[in-house]
Amino acid sequence: MKKMGRKVLAAALALGMAFALSACGGGSAGGGAATTAAATQAATEAATQAATQGATQAAIEAVTQGATQAATEAVTQAVAQAAAGNGLEWKDIYMGFCASTTANDIMQIISGAVKSDIESHGGKCDIASADGDAATQIEQVENFVTMGCNVLLIMAVENDALSDAIQKAKDAGVLTLTLSTDCTTQDCYMSSGDEKAMGIVAVDTALEWVKATFDTSETIYGAIIACQDSTEAAYRCTAYDDAKDIFAAAGYTLEILDKQTVTWTYEAGQEAAENIILKYPEINLWLCYNGVIAQGTSEAVMTAAAVPDVSKVGAFCVDCNTDIAELIIASKNNESVLRGAVSTGALSDFAGMPAAVIDLWRSGETVPPAYSLTPFPVTVDTAESFIVEYGE
């Protein structure tokens, strides 16, 4: 049995006093919802202070200001979270990583990087692949809890399908984290950034290339290769649906000739682009869900005899790594048409998010409901410096 720290003990004592005092005041008339809300907030703040500073007086004062059952419930939740992680060392951390799949190269790289980062801190991490099946992933979540994991990291196959299983894990005292998939019931949703915001950065990057390549009198013909493998993927691609309006605001006419939805692989991107080129070889602008789709798209364009002038073609995406950055550099001499991408840093930055949140939890600090990185564009002018700083 793990030792409870003094800070958590103080918070637990505060909870007991909260229940006692709220019971004494429970029969008083008046107050209503406003009193409940104010007391709940005050009690939550007090519980946090008690958990982190070893004080009980703050909680007592908050409860005497009119706390009701709602306030004591808020205290309960704050104390439970603090008690769960407070005082744990990294050697005590056992994280189960429930991956949606490890069948493709990207997911193998991501899962391997996350596991390595957790182990570099001294924790333990096991990975389970659901192979695209939500029922299997629910079982894996339950199995990890049974195995004694105190942290769960989930990249959900289906967000809604995992919500109940995640809630049960939370109820069992497990810190629940989701990566790039928001299941609503987790303690913290981690992402490389707001998905649509990243898509908008990709559109803006494409617009800057168009400004340098075309006159406003020319019509830009575009295609979108989207993905709906998750709610987040679909949300990112809604930014591409806004591209026409964004271009119009800058004085350009963008006409989207085709849109295809694929799974996020190189082969799917290449095949979709090849099919679109057969119908519309005049396309100038490709907006791709992610990097591997854009890589496949670039290959399709570069090998298509039907494309009249590759210097007038550009592909743009969210996600960047060394391979993608090198293709962007090659686009300067039109040896590639992948001309811009959006990044939030190195793979290590992305893979390090779970450990960063776990550190907050271990120290008894409040775990934020969302944790993300900041997106930035990678272009022909910045790709070399990107490789130097972030290449792996």
Round to whole Å and give the CA distance between 332 and 381: 9
Question: Would you say 367 and 129 are in contact if contact means Cβ atoms under 8 Å apart?
Answer: no
Residue 274, C-beta contacts closer than 8 angstroms, at least 6 positions apart: 300, 304
**pLDDT digits (tens), the chain, 392 positions:** 333 333 333 333 333 333 333 333 333 333 333 333 444 444 444 444 444 343 334 333 444 344 455 544 544 454 454 445 668 999 999 999 999 999 888 889 999 999 999 999 999 999 999 999 999 999 999 999 999 999 999 999 999 999 999 999 999 999 999 998 899 999 999 988 889 999 999 999 999 999 999 999 999 999 999 999 888 899 999 999 999 999 999 999 999 999 999 998 999 999 999 999 999 999 999 999 999 999 999 999 999 999 989 999 999 999 999 999 999 999 999 999 999 999 998 888 999 999 999 999 999 999 999 999 999 999 999 999 999 998 76
Q: Is there a shared CATH topology between the 90-192+348-372 domain and the 195-343 domain?
A: yes
What's the pLDDT score for residue 208? Answer: 98
Number of alpha carbons in the 13 Å side-chain half-sphere of residue 355: 21
195-343: CATH topology is Rossmann fold (3.40.50)
342 bridge partner residues: 318, 377
90-192+348-372: CATH topology is Rossmann fold (3.40.50)
What's the pLDDT score for residue 300? Answer: 97
User: Which residue, among 53, 65, 64, 38, has the nearest Cα to 8 in the 3D structure?
Assistant: 53
What's the pLDDT score for residue 119? Answer: 98
Helix or strand holding residue 224 (H, E):
strand 219-226
| Burial group, residue 36, by CB count within 10 angstroms (0-12, 13-18, 19+) | middle
The residue extents of the domains of the chain are: 6-85, 90-192+348-372, 195-343
What's the pLDDT score for residue 104? Answer: 81
Alpha helix (H) ranges present in the chain?
A: 6-25, 32-53, 57-64, 69-85, 105-120, 134-146, 159-171, 195-213, 231-241, 243-249, 266-279, 291-302, 322-330, 347-351, 353-362, 383-390
What's the pLDDT score for residue 192? Answer: 83
